[in-house]
Structure 1
């Protein structure tokens, strides 16, 4: 019995006060815009404009849960309009008292076929069926005004308001680069993520982009927990071979050849990290003219380290937990990561260092 009552308790986590204010303020702004439209244009094509109760439910979705697939613009505008069209079609052909039930059923059927499922659409259909006389008089124009016009205004307000308050709406769609980067991190394609949603019947509750972000965040959090006490400074390579920005490229090539290194940090006279030279940077500089892309071997005499190095944007502090870099080294093709302290280069973290850490963890687990 206790389990039964526990299942009746709130399923949502406790809301943050700031998010509560943000969502409710957005609903007020969006419905306020709809109210202004009703006052400004009381008639559209001889159809009286008026606020519809289901718009309140739409406001909950687009302002309180803007990441939900049910709240996206196509779902909101398309779902409400399609539901209104379905309701008019039913009311014109089905006698009372079966209109309300069949209008809602037709709305759900049409929304799901159109991939525009939006719960307030069912309320639009029921509202039309409960007061069919003005709806039948307006005909299919009812789907455009007031339903389509006011829903579009609400969604437009949601786009602007969510952007101003730091929320992403409309949410990223699976084909965009942001999701592709999640594929690299997770090792799962969009199709595989979609299969997971299908398997657990969650396609209407969460989008592919959301699932990818959540799984990637969970993966990164797990990596941090696994090496929680290990920092970049504790496993980095400290005995470094470095060059100054004005070292000629011939000298740099000789160092790469004699030392069998894959990267060469560049530091200035004060020891500040200025950049890094990879093998590929050196090869490109030796055989090609940066402006024309043509082969110009004579140009190399004038080149120095500062001409071929990459900027120091990839450096990390030595107290950074190493778990945060596992994906960067493993899945994104990064060979090494410079480690700094107060702007000074103190070490390099390489894939070899990470492999050593992973092997050490495996040995500890076997011993346990």
Structure 2
């Protein structure tokens, strides 16, 4: 057991990243190989064609680490990668041109920091690009100002293009800058926070360069799902259904539907076929709408059947589905009721109000414990 009086700095020296999974290790290694190989082949191809010479630079290795090992990072996206390295190269040649060899490296890195931050293109390898050029005035003179900047830009672009192609088959999304409405697993309405609020939250904890608003939304939604699963543990849909929803057959007429509504406080009726399979819901307001159309209720009430006005639910849950998963589906579907069946036979519905009571009961039970 680690004692409480051990210096805090000692813990900061330990690895902060978990040991990589075998699949992620293989993907990152293979991606880095393909990325740098693409740049090398591009250099060889341009050289064989007799065009302006291209060359590899060490900071491309650092860019490859970000693009292939942490493709979800805001620092690894195409804009900061290509633009960040390009701005850093421009700053490097400016420093070499204007300053002495002793001052040029410092000036190059300083200008690169400012340029990347202002250009919203912060890319750690960009600092290495600026320092490399600041230390290599001969390289800038031999290649030329335009040639040096163009080389860095083209090489980074080739590496990023290889990353985009590679991640189409790796199972990871790159570029990873989607809108909140497209963020899996849930839409922003579930979190109750918009992109600006999530960005402000990241800025509050100084995490804007480590995580994007979309990533944070995904993490919060995933954490929410885990909390739900932990709260209800082994409970299933069958433990939480409301089985007092009135049921009518598919051929039931308006008279029968009105009678069922008069006997119940619910606003829906469940419609089933002869085998008891759920077909959909009939809503109270739809029945009232049909009644309003009738001029001779006694003669016409049998012309409208339950199947004519029912609304399909979209899917039916099995009673064995874990309750935590069912709650997630209920929130995502934005429906008031979800039908529950056992072996295909309709058993009842999950309701938002019923689940709210169950959540409050679980919280009270934990408080007592």
1:33 paired residue number = 38
Task: Note closer, same or farther for the CA distance 1:193–1:326 as it changes in structure 2 (3 Å cut).
Answer: same
Provide Cα deviations, 1:42-68, integer angstroms capped at 9, x if missing partner. Answer: 289963112222111111111111110
Correspondence 1:323 to 2:317: no
Aligned match of 2:108: 103
Q: Does the 8 Å contact 1:273/1:312 carry over to 2?
A: no
The Cα shift of 1:308 comes to: 4.4
Q: Distance in 2 between matches of 1:360 and 1:268?
A: 35
C-alpha contact (below 8 Å) 1:182/1:213 kept by paired residues: no
2:365 is matched with 364
Q: Which whole-Å deviations, capped at 9, do the CAs of 1:48-95 have from their partners, x for residues lacking one?
A: 112222111111111111110001111111111111111112211111
Following superposition, the deviation at residue 334 of structure 1 comes to: 2.0
Given that 2:337 and 2:350 are in contact with CA atoms closer than 8 Å, whether structure 1 keeps it comes out as yes
Change (3 A) 1:200 1:270: same
Is the partner of 1:140 in helix, strand or coil? helix
Counterpart for residue 295 of structure 1 = none
Q: State the partner residue of 1:275.
A: 280
Per the alignment, residue 194 of structure 2 pairs with 189
Q: CA deviation at 1:311?
A: 4.1
Cα distance in 2 for residues equivalent to 1:3 and 1:326? 41
**CA-CA distance at 1:121 after TM superposition:** 0.9
| Preserved CA contact (<8 Å) 1:263 1:336 | no
Work out whether 1:241 is the aligned partner of 2:246: yes
Partner of 1:338: 339
CA deviation profile, 1:296-351 (whole Å, cap 9, x unmatched): xxx99876544544445332222233233445546864211111233332221112
Q: Deviation of residue 170 (structure 1)?
A: 1.1
Q: Secondary structure at the match of 1:41?
A: helix
Question: What are the equivalent positions in structure 2 for 1:1-368 lying under 5 Å apart?
Answer: 1=6, 3-42=8-47, 47-136=52-141, 137-144=143-150, 146-174=151-179, 176-178=181-183, 181-247=186-252, 252=257, 255-256=260-261, 259-278=264-283, 304-326=305-327, 329=330, 333-365=334-366, 367-368=368-369
- The alignment's TM-score, normalised by the length of structure 2, stands at 0.84
Name the structure 1 match of 2:297.
Answer: none
Q: Could you tell me whether the CA contact under 8 Å between 2:183 and 2:218 is conserved in 1?
A: no
Tell which deviates more after alignment, 215-224 or 268-277. 268-277
Distance 1:13 1:70 in 2: 20
* Worse-matched range after superposition: 111-120 or 334-343: 334-343
CA distance in 2, matches of 1:96, 1:141: 20
Q: Aligned to 1:79, what secondary structure does the other structure show? A: helix
Q: Is 95-104 or 354-363 further displaced after alignment?
A: 354-363
> Equivalents in 1 of 2:42, 2:157: separation in Å?
11
Instruction: Tell me the residue number matched to 1:292.
Output: none
For normalisation by structure 1, the TM-score amounts to 0.85
The count of residues paired between Structure 1 and Structure 2 equals 357
What is the CA–CA distance in structure 1 between the aligned matches of 2:362 and 2:241, rounded to whole Å?
Answer: 16
What are the superposed Cα offsets for residues 4-47 of structure 1, whole Å, 9 maximum, x if unpaired? 43321110011100111011111122222222211221289963
* 1:148-172 deviations in Å (ceiling 9; x for gaps): 2221121122112112121111113
